[in-house]
């Protein structure tokens, strides 16, 4: 009787508490009802933005480089083995197909279990709640966040089917090491698609999401294995597996075959990503907007918009088809690296362009180049020296005057105002033929000939080319000798020299096309050939370039080709050595020097740039 009285008293004392709890819940329900329409708009079960790999293919369609921030391979529910589905249902949410987004029974069970253990051992979150957390909410443990999670989960269940929720959950849960979704986990950890995994392997990767840090198999393999066995025991407990079969699965060996990014030819892949930005800028109008920006602030804003757009395109997953010749790239890199290894801190850059397609087949960005390092082929802006003469002086001369290679020109002393250029070594000559002036790279004749052509006319003739750093203040007589305010890049020089193939020009590109994951072409260059030199001028220039090789400053150049033509260049204080030219197959430019310029007179006789040119222009490679 006394026990009943005490029980009745306890009940009476609980009424105020229950009333307070009811009032609080009622207030929250009314509040929830008030933003129900907003909630419906907030919960949209469209697939989230998925960052997919950007894949680079060579000229034979083989993958040579890939980049990804997150590794994902979404699957349909039908593609996910039933055994894997059961592992998650039985361990995470047994009553998934019965509840309305949340499960009060599971919540109370977890509360009492955790209270008894005086620590958090069980969770009460359903699969729907976990998906809500992944998509919409933070992981902070507060009452407000938990209540919002319940409301969101219920709304999600109203809007879509259980199958869709479960599918999205399995595709979005985190499997450590930037791997999202069970399909991606399969290929990342075992190198095989999910339908090829054993039950032991399926259970192993299914162990990871419970705590991706603790169960990261790359750092805590044993912990992951223990969790795998725990999941198998859950299936036994719930009647989904026999003890005998469970033991067989537990004893099956687990051998990880972890996926690694394929990152071959970093100098080429780095340039491709740079060109991709240029391609998008060209196709989507950013290039013109930047060129027409009213001020520096506006230009920077547009450039930021461009980078955001490029990131968006890449994150959607693209395949970039390129002109890379992998065998040639590998051989060029190996040879140039071996040459430079003997010279401390000496650097080099080169670009090789296919004459027929005007595509970049090989590019060298610097000694032992690592991806995204400073790229000397397109980022290093250096003075071109006499290698610039064919473009600015001689080709415009033959294009606009009646001069021929046999015409005479004064090679003596010259001063125009305060500008007094000298020939190499301070030598003074009498009248020489243009052919000789070109072959031996005399300076004073080049300046006189630029004066004959006219500075503005000469610069107009090279305007079709991709020289991005030539400015109005470069329009001086010193430009005849490659004396520019900033300079040019190796890529720009090789690109411009392709005009001597036959007088036509099309910008040199590495990218052939860019496609999305379904193979639809998103971007492609649509450059047309244009005539920049007459055929007669091109043939004249080819003859002069060939004489440089046979009996001029290019002696020592030897390439297995019926035609070889080139022009050397040396800048003041021997800071830069250049060689640009062409064969029947390729056009290229080579530069050697130091990142912090210093005199290289002591290695001039080694003719390292000649040796590089010989190797990279050999068709056999």
d(CA 589, CA 382): 13
Report whether 445 contacts 432 (CB < 8 A).
yes
Report whether 447 contacts 416 (CB < 8 A).
yes
Q: By CB neighbour count within 10 A (0-12 exposed, 13-18 middle, 19+ buried), where does 445 fall?
A: buried
Q: By CB neighbour count within 10 A (0-12 exposed, 13-18 middle, 19+ buried), where does 1 fall?
A: exposed
d(CA 546, CA 564): 6
d(CA 488, CA 478): 15
DSSP-derived secondary structure letter, 191: S
Report whether 268 contacts 324 (CB < 8 A).
yes
Report whether 564 contacts 355 (CB < 8 A).
no
Q: Shortest CA distance to 548 belongs to which of 572, 568, 520?
A: 568
The residue whose two tokens read 């620590």 is 119
d(CA 567, CA 584): 16
The residue whose two tokens read 């600015």 is 392
Phi, psi of 620 (to 5 degrees): -65, -25
DSSP-derived secondary structure letter, 49: P
d(CA 142, CA 120): 14
d(CA 106, CA 100): 13
Sign of CA pseudo-dihedral 324, 364, 359, 317: positive
Q: By CB neighbour count within 10 A (0-12 exposed, 13-18 middle, 19+ buried), where does 451 fall?
A: middle
Antiparallel, parallel or unpaired: β 576-583 and 586-593: antiparallel
Q: At what angle do helices 243-251 and 221-237 cross, to 10 degrees?
A: 170
Q: Shortest CA distance to 393 belongs to which of 337, 461, 333?
A: 461
Collapse the DSSP code of 577 into the 3-class scheme (helix H, G, I; strand E, B; otherwise coil) and give the result.
strand
Side-chain-facing half-sphere of 584: CA atoms under 13 Å:
7
Report whether 441 contacts 386 (CB < 8 A).
yes
- Tokens in use for 617? 């222009």
DSSP-derived secondary structure letter, 387: G
d(CA 258, CA 174): 16
Report whether 136 contacts 148 (CB < 8 A).
no
Please give the positions annotated as active site. Answer: 92, 386
The residue whose two tokens read 């993958």 is 63
């Amino acid at each position: 009787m006394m026990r009943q009285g005490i029980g009745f008293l306890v009940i009476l004392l609980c009424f105020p508490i229950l009333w307070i709890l009811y009032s609080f819940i009622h207030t929250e329900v009314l509040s929830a009802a008030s933003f129900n329409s907003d909630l419906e708009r907030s919960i949209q079960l469209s697939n989230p933005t998925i960052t997919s790999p950007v894949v680079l293919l060579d000229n034979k369609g083989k993958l040579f480089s890939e980049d990804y921030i997150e590794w994902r391979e979404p699957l349909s529910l039908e593609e996910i083995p039933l055994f894997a589905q059961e592992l998650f249902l039985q361990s995470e949410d047994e009553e998934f197909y019965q509840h309305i987004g949340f499960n009060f029974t599971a919540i109370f069970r977890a509360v009492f279990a955790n209270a008894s253990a005086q620590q958090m051992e069980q969770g009460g979150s359903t699969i729907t709640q976990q998906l809500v957390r992944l998509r919409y909410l933070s992981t902070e443990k507060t009452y407000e966040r938990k209540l919002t999670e319940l409301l969101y989960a219920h709304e999600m269940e109203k809007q879509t089917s259980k199958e869709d929720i479960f599918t999205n959950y399995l595709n979005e849960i985190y499997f450590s090491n930037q791997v999202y979704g069970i399909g991606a986990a399969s290929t990342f950890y075992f190198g095989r698609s999910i339908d090829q995994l054993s039950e032991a392997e399926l259970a192993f990767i299914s162990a990871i999401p419970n705590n991706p840090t603790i169960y990261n198999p790359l750092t805590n393999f044993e912990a992951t294995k223990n969790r795998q066995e725990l999941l198998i025991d859950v299936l036994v407990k719930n009647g989904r597996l026999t003890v005998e079969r469970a033991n067989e699965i537990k004893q099956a060996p687990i051998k990880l075959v972890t996926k690694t990014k394929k990152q071959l030819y970093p100098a080429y892949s780095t340039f491709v990503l740079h060109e991709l930005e240029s391609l998008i800028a060209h196709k989507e109008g950013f290039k013109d907007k930047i060129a027409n920006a009213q001020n520096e602030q506006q230009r920077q804003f547009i450039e930021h918009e461009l980078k955001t757009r490029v990131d968006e395109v890449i994150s959607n997953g693209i395949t970039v088809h390129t002109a890379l010749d992998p065998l040639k790239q590998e051989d060029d890199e190996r040879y140039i690296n071996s040459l430079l290894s003997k010279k401390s801190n000496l650097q080099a850059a080169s670009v090789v362009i296919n004459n027929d397609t005007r595509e970049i087949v090989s590019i060298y960005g610097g000694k032992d180049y690592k991806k995204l390092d400073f790229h000397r082929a397109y980022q290093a802006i250096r003075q071109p020296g006499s290698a610039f003469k064919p473009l600015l002086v001689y080709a415009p001369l033959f294009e606009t005057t009646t001069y021929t290679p046999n015409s005479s020109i004064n090679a003596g002393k010259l001063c125009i105002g305060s500008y007094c250029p000298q020939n190499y070594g301070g030598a003074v000559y009498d009248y020489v033929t243009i052919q000789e002036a070109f072959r031996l790279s005399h300076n004073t004749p080049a300046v006189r000939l630029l004066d004959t052509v006219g500075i503005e006319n000469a610069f107009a003739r090279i305007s079709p080319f991709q020289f991005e750093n030539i400015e109005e203040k470069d329009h001086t007589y010193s430009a005849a000798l490659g004396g520019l305010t900033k300079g040019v890049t190796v890529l720009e020089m090789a690109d411009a020299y392709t005009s001597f193939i036959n007088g036509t020009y099309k910008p040199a590109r590495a990218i052939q096309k860019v496609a999305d994951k379904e193979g639809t072409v998103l971007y492609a260059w649509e450059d047309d050939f244009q005539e920049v030199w007459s055929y007669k001028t091109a043939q004249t220039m080819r003859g002069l370039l060939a004489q440089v090789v046979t009996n001029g400053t290019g002696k020592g150049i030897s390439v297995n080709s019926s035609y070889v033509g080139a022009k050397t260049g040396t800048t003041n204080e021997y800071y830069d050595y250049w060689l640009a030219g062409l064969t029947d197959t390729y056009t290229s430019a080579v530069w050697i020097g130091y990142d912090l310029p210093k005199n290289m007179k002591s290695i001039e006789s080694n003719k390292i740039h000649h040796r590089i040119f010989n190797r990279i222009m050999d068709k056999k490679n």
